Chains A and B, each alone.
Chain A
C-alpha cells in the first residue's frame, strides 16, 4: 500500500512566485520521500541522505567513514572498480557520494531511458560494496596525498586548529578525513563496520525531482534501499561546548595570512534562530552586502573576501568567520573585525539594515528553487533538518516577522566580542598571541 500526499507549496516574494508542487510518498515498504514531478527534461535527480556521518567513527578510526564513502563506487557486486566505472559510464549516470560529520549523502542523476539499469547499479554500490584490497590501497594513497596537501594549506590548517581548540576530544575536534596514522591503520573490517553503521534504512531522507512520478518512486525506493539493514543511526556523543577565547598563530611560510574566528552559535530550533540568521546576514553572511565586507574590503582594501556563517551541527552550534590578508595587514583586519563585532553587539542593527536583509532573504528564497538537481538537494536537506513541507510556505513569513527590538536583543545575546577565538595561519606581523 503506497500513500501519496500532495502539498502545493506556493512561494511568494512580492510579485515573484515559484510553484513547487512537492508530493510526499510512503513506499509499500515504509520508506518516505518527497517528490517533485518535472517531466520537461528526460532525467531524474535523486538525493539520499543518511543521518549519521563521520562523527560516528570510533576515536582511533577517524577517516573510516570518509574512506568507506570514497570506496562505494570502487567495486560492488560482481564488478571490480574498473568494471563498475565502465558500467556507470555506459549508462551515462552520475553518482556522487559525500560524507560530513553528521551525514552521508548520495546525489544521483539518471537518464529516463535507462533508469532501471542505473538504479540496479547504484543499488550494488549501496548494498554490496566490495572493498577489494586493491581498491582500498589505491584510495588510501589518494587520501594520504590529500591529507599531506591539506597540512600545507593555510585555510585547511586554520580550520583544523580552530576545530581542535573548540571541540577538543570530541569527534568534531578532528578532521573527518582522518590523520596520516589513522588512515594508515584502517583495515577492511573498519570500512565494513563504517558501512554497516552508516547505511541503515531508518536513518534515511529521500528526494526525487524530475521525470518521475510519485507512483513510480515508491516501488523504486523499496527495491533500491529495502535490503539495507533496518534501524536508526547511532547517536553522535554529546559535546560540552567550551571554546577558549584568544588568538593563536600557526607559522606557515606564505605571504598572506588566513584567519578563522568565531565563538558559540545558536541552535536551529532556538526561537531566536531566525533573528540570528538575519543578524549574521547583516554582519557577514551576505558577501558583498555585509558590514564586514564594507568595512574590511570596500573601505580599507584589507582583503579580497570576508564572511561569517552560523554553523549548526548535530552536537554543536558555532558562529564562524574567515578572512585572508597580507601578513602585514591581517592585524588591521582583525582589529576591524573585533570593532564591528562589539559595535553590532552593543548598538544593534538599524531599521533600514533589517529591512534590506529581510527583502534580500525573502526575495532570494524562491530563486533557489531552480533546476532539478538543486531542488532535490534543498528538499532532502529540509527533511534532514526536520522541517515540514509547509516550511516552504512559512519560511519567508518567519523572516519578515523578526522585529528590530528582537534582532537587537539577539545581537546582544549572540555576539560576544570578548569570547572570539582567532586562529591565524601564516607569518603575520604585529600580532600578539592571547
Chain B
C-alpha cells in the first residue's frame, strides 16, 4: 500500500516472464509478423500492432518525434476522420491506447472478439494512410508539451531520473528521454513527423499480436485481408544505433530541487540484456535484483538498511531484462530522517561488498525461484499482459522461441551464475551515482 515510495525511481520495468498459453505465430507475405495467443475464458480480444521503432531510433536533434507521432496517429487518414478510430472503438464499447518506449511504438484496442475485423481495418488504414494538417501539428504539440509538463517538469523525481539516464549512457540514444527534451520538442514540425512515419511505419517493420477469444485461422484470414495488402517498404533499414564506448569513469549526478521533500540515493550500472539464444545472463540478473532489493523485509539491502541498522526507510534493486541494446541495473535507498546521503551511500556500498564476499542465502534463492514459477500462473489471468510480453520482446530482437524458453531458463539459473554476474556488474566505472536533494540537504 505504500507504493508511493516504490514509484520514486523507475529506470526499469518489472520482471517479465512468460505464461504458457496457446500461442501460434506466422509471417504475412509482406514481412509482417503475427502472433496469436488464445484465451477463451471471455469473449474479448486484444489487438495490438507494435512497430520496431522507438525514441532511440530518432534522428539527432529530433528527440520526442517517435512519441509525438504516436499522438498524431489518431488524426485524419485516407479513410478515417480525425478521432474516428477512437469514436468507433468507443461505439463498440472498447478501449484503446498507444505507447512509446526506447525500442518500440505500439497501438492497441480491447474489444468484443467479434469486432476484430473492424479494428484491423482501421489499424491497417493508418499504417500508411496518415494525412496530417499543419493545425494538427500545432495543437497536438501543445498537448505533448503539457504531457511533458505533467509527467516530468512537475515531478522532480522524473527530472532526476532523466539526468541519471543521460549520465549513464555516454553515446547511446537511451540517454535521451522518450518524451524528448523540451527545447527540441517545441520545434518538432510536420516534416519531422512525416519523415519518421514514412521511414518506419510499414508491415515489414511491424508485429501484430492478437490475444483472447480467437483462433489462429480466423486471425490469419483477417490479417491477410487487411494487413497483407499493405506493400512492404524498402526504406525500412536495420536498426543501427550509436553504441557505448568503454566506460572509464564513474559519474555523479547531484540533483537539487526545492520541491523535494524526501531525499534519496540512487546508483545505476550498465547491464547486459536478453539476447536471442542467449538469455541466461539476464535471467541471473533478474535473481540478483530480487535478492538484493526485491522486498524490504527479506532482501539483502532491506535487511541490512531497513531492519538491522534502520538507516533507510525504503530500498530496492531494479533490473529490466528486456531491451534491444544495453539495459541498466539500479539500486535505490531512501534514508531515515537525519541520515545523510553520504552515510546511506556508504552503507549501500558496504552491503553490496558484503554480499559479494558472503554469497547467497540459498533458502531465499529457492523462495524467489518458486515465486517466479507462481508468477507464471498468475500471469495467465491477464491475456493482455501475455500479449505485451510478446510485443515487447519481438520488437527487441528476441524470437517467439526465446519468449517461450524464458520461464524455463529462469527456473534453471543457479546461485553460482548469479554470483558470477554480480562480480562483473558492480563495476564502478560503468556506474552513475545520484543524490536527490531537497533545499536542506548538505553535499558533504
Q: Of B111, B141, B262, B370, which is within 8 A of A92 by CB?
A: B370
Query: For residue B42, which residues in chain A have a CB less than 8 angstroms away from its CB?
Result: 18, 367, 369-371
Please, how many angstroms separate the alpha-carbon atoms of A14 and B92 in the complex? Answer: 9
Q: Do B5 and A146 have beta carbons less than 8 Å apart? A: yes
1/0 per residue, CB under 8 A from A, across B143-156: the answer is 11111011001100
**Known contacts A149-B261, A372-B381; is A141 also within 8 Å of B90 by CB?**
no
Q: Do A17 and B43 have beta carbons less than 8 Å apart? A: yes
Q: Do B298 and A85 have beta carbons less than 8 Å apart? A: yes
Q: Do A98 and B1 have beta carbons less than 8 Å apart? A: yes
Chain A, Cβ-Cβ closest to B370 = A92
1/0 per residue, CB under 8 A from A, across B404-441: the answer is 00000000000000000000000000000000000000
Q: Do A138 and B91 have beta carbons less than 8 Å apart? A: no
For chain B, the bracket of interface size reads 35 or more
Q: Do B112 and A359 have beta carbons less than 8 Å apart? A: no
**Does A196 sit within 8 A of B, measured CB to CB?**
no
Query: For residue B367, which residues in chain A have a CB less than 8 angstroms away from its CB?
Result: 86, 89-90
Chain B, Cβ-Cβ closest to A326 = B149
Tell me the total A-B contact number using a CB cutoff of 8 A. Answer: 193
1/0 per residue, CB under 8 A from B, across A267-299: the answer is 000000000000000000010110000000111
Q: Which of B43, B140, B259 counts the most chain A CB atoms within 10 A?
A: B43
1/0 per residue, CB under 8 A from A, across B273-293: the answer is 000000000000000000000
Query: For residue B313, which residues in chain A have a CB less than 8 angstroms away from its CB?
Result: 138, 141-142, 145
**Does A13 sit within 8 A of B, measured CB to CB?**
yes
Q: Which of B114, B138, B373, B374 counts the most chain A CB atoms within 10 A?
A: B374
**Does A133 sit within 8 A of B, measured CB to CB?**
no
Q: Do B5 and A85 have beta carbons less than 8 Å apart? A: no
Please, how many angstroms separate the alpha-carbon atoms of A78 and B111 in the complex? Answer: 48
Q: Do B114 and A16 have beta carbons less than 8 Å apart? A: yes
**Does A312 sit within 8 A of B, measured CB to CB?**
no
**Does B23 sit within 8 A of A, measured CB to CB?**
no
**Does B236 sit within 8 A of A, measured CB to CB?**
no
Q: Do A367 and B44 have beta carbons less than 8 Å apart? A: yes
Please, how many angstroms separate the alpha-carbon atoms of A371 and B146 in the complex? Answer: 34
Please, how many angstroms separate the alpha-carbon atoms of A55 and B111 in the complex? Answer: 38
Whole-angstrom distance from the CB of B224 to the nearest CB of chain A?
Answer: 23
Q: Which chain A residues in 297-326 approach chain B with CB under 8 Å?
A: 297-305, 324-326
Q: Do A255 and B154 have beta carbons less than 8 Å apart? A: yes
Q: Which chain A residues in 353-399 approach chain B with CB under 8 Å?
A: 356, 359-367, 369-373
Please, how many angstroms separate the alpha-carbon atoms of A106 and B5 in the complex? Answer: 20
Please, how many angstroms separate the alpha-carbon atoms of A69 and B149 in the complex? Answer: 34
Q: Do A254 and B259 have beta carbons less than 8 Å apart? A: yes
Whole-angstrom distance from the CB of A36 to the nearest CB of chain B?
Answer: 11
Query: For residue A82, which residues in chain B have a CB less than 8 angstroms away from its CB?
Result: 297-298, 303, 307
Q: Of A40, A152, A154, A363, which is within 8 A of B93 by CB?
A: A363
**Does B87 sit within 8 A of A, measured CB to CB?**
yes
Please, how many angstroms separate the alpha-carbon atoms of A324 and B146 in the complex? Answer: 8
Q: Do A326 and B295 have beta carbons less than 8 Å apart? A: no
Q: Which chain B residues in 121-167 approach chain A with CB under 8 Å?
A: 138-147, 149-150, 153-154
1/0 per residue, CB under 8 A from A, across B286-327: the answer is 000000000101100001001100100110000000000000
**Known contacts A254-B154, A289-B90, A298-B83; is A141 also within 8 Å of B378 by CB?**
no
Q: Of B91, B141, B377, which is within 8 A of A43 by CB?
A: B377
Whole-angstrom distance from the CB of B33 to the nearest CB of chain A?
Answer: 26
Chain B, Cβ-Cβ closest to A356 = B91
Please, how many angstroms separate the alpha-carbon atoms of A139 and B306 in the complex? Answer: 10
Q: Do A149 and B4 have beta carbons less than 8 Å apart? A: yes
Q: Of A98, A255, A301, which is within 8 A of B153 by CB?
A: A255
Please, how many angstroms separate the alpha-carbon atoms of A151 and B279 in the complex? Answer: 43
Q: Which chain A residues in 8-30 approach chain B with CB under 8 Å?
A: 13-18
Chain B, Cβ-Cβ closest to A97 = B1
Q: Do A371 and B297 have beta carbons less than 8 Å apart? A: no
Query: For residue B83, which residues in chain A have a CB less than 8 angstroms away from its CB?
Result: 288, 298
Please, how many angstroms separate the alpha-carbon atoms of A139 and B297 in the complex? Answer: 12
Chain B, Cβ-Cβ closest to A209 = B381
**Does A122 sit within 8 A of B, measured CB to CB?**
no
For chain A, the bracket of interface size reads 35 or more
Chain B, Cβ-Cβ closest to A94 = B378
Q: Do B261 and A367 have beta carbons less than 8 Å apart? A: no
Chain A, Cβ-Cβ closest to B380 = A41
Q: Do A256 and B377 have beta carbons less than 8 Å apart? A: no
Please, how many angstroms separate the alpha-carbon atoms of A363 and B110 in the complex? Answer: 11
Chain B, Cβ-Cβ closest to A96 = B1
Chain A, Cβ-Cβ closest to B151 = A304
1/0 per residue, CB under 8 A from A, across B369-406: the answer is 01101110110111100000000000000000000000
**Does A168 sit within 8 A of B, measured CB to CB?**
no
Query: For residue A150, which residues in chain B have a CB less than 8 angstroms away from its CB?
Result: 4
**Does B336 sit within 8 A of A, measured CB to CB?**
yes
Whole-angstrom distance from the CB of B50 to the nearest CB of chain A?
Answer: 21
**Does A81 sit within 8 A of B, measured CB to CB?**
yes
Q: Which chain A residues in 131-171 approach chain B with CB under 8 Å?
A: 138-139, 141-146, 148-152, 154
**Does B191 sit within 8 A of A, measured CB to CB?**
no
Q: Do A89 and B377 have beta carbons less than 8 Å apart? A: no
Whole-angstrom distance from the CB of B96 to the nearest CB of chain A?
Answer: 8
**Does A59 sit within 8 A of B, measured CB to CB?**
no
Q: Do A92 and B371 have beta carbons less than 8 Å apart? A: yes
Q: Do A359 and B382 have beta carbons less than 8 Å apart? A: no
Please, how many angstroms separate the alpha-carbon atoms of A325 and B95 in the complex? Answer: 25
Whole-angstrom distance from the CB of B383 to the nearest CB of chain A?
Answer: 8
Q: Do A148 and B150 have beta carbons less than 8 Å apart? A: no
Q: Do B86 and A367 have beta carbons less than 8 Å apart? A: no
**Does A109 sit within 8 A of B, measured CB to CB?**
yes
Q: Do B262 and A149 have beta carbons less than 8 Å apart? A: yes
Q: Do B111 and A256 have beta carbons less than 8 Å apart? A: no
Query: For residue B114, which residues in chain A have a CB less than 8 angstroms away from its CB?
Result: 15-16
Q: Do A253 and B90 have beta carbons less than 8 Å apart? A: no
Please, how many angstroms separate the alpha-carbon atoms of A149 and B7 in the complex? Answer: 12
Query: For residue B378, which residues in chain A have a CB less than 8 angstroms away from its CB?
Result: 43, 94, 109
Q: Which of A84, A148, A362 counts the most chain B CB atoms within 10 A?
A: A148
**Does A42 sit within 8 A of B, measured CB to CB?**
yes
Please, how many angstroms separate the alpha-carbon atoms of A274 and B92 in the complex? Answer: 20
Q: Do B4 and A301 have beta carbons less than 8 Å apart? A: no
Q: Do A363 and B153 have beta carbons less than 8 Å apart? A: no
Q: Do B86 and A302 have beta carbons less than 8 Å apart? A: no
Q: Do B146 and A303 have beta carbons less than 8 Å apart? A: yes
Q: Do A305 and B150 have beta carbons less than 8 Å apart? A: yes
Q: Of A138, A152, A286, A304, which is within 8 A of B259 by CB?
A: A152
**Does B234 sit within 8 A of A, measured CB to CB?**
no
Q: Do B297 and A256 have beta carbons less than 8 Å apart? A: no
Q: Do A367 and B110 have beta carbons less than 8 Å apart? A: yes
Chain B, Cβ-Cβ closest to A86 = B298
Please, how many angstroms separate the alpha-carbon atoms of A339 and B146 in the complex? Answer: 22
Q: Besides A85-B297, A367-B94, A370-B383, 14 other CB < 8 A contacts?
A: A82-B307, A86-B367, A89-B295, A99-B1, A109-B378, A253-B259, A255-B153, A301-B141, A304-B147, A304-B150, A305-B150, A361-B93, A366-B43, A367-B110
The 3 A-B residue pairs with the shortest CB-CB distance, nearest first, are A363-B93, A301-B142, A92-B374
A residues in contact (CB < 8 Å) with B: 13-18, 38, 40-43, 45, 69-70, 74, 81-82, 84-86, 89-90, 92, 94, 96-99, 109, 111, 138-139, 141-146, 148-152, 154, 252-256, 258, 286, 288-289, 297-305, 324-326, 329, 356, 359-367, 369-373
A-B contact pairs, 23 of them (CB 8 A): A15-B112, A43-B381, A45-B381, A69-B1, A85-B297, A90-B367, A92-B370, A92-B375, A148-B262, A149-B261, A254-B153, A255-B153, A255-B154, A300-B139, A301-B142, A302-B142, A305-B150, A324-B150, A326-B145, A326-B149, A356-B91, A359-B91, A367-B111
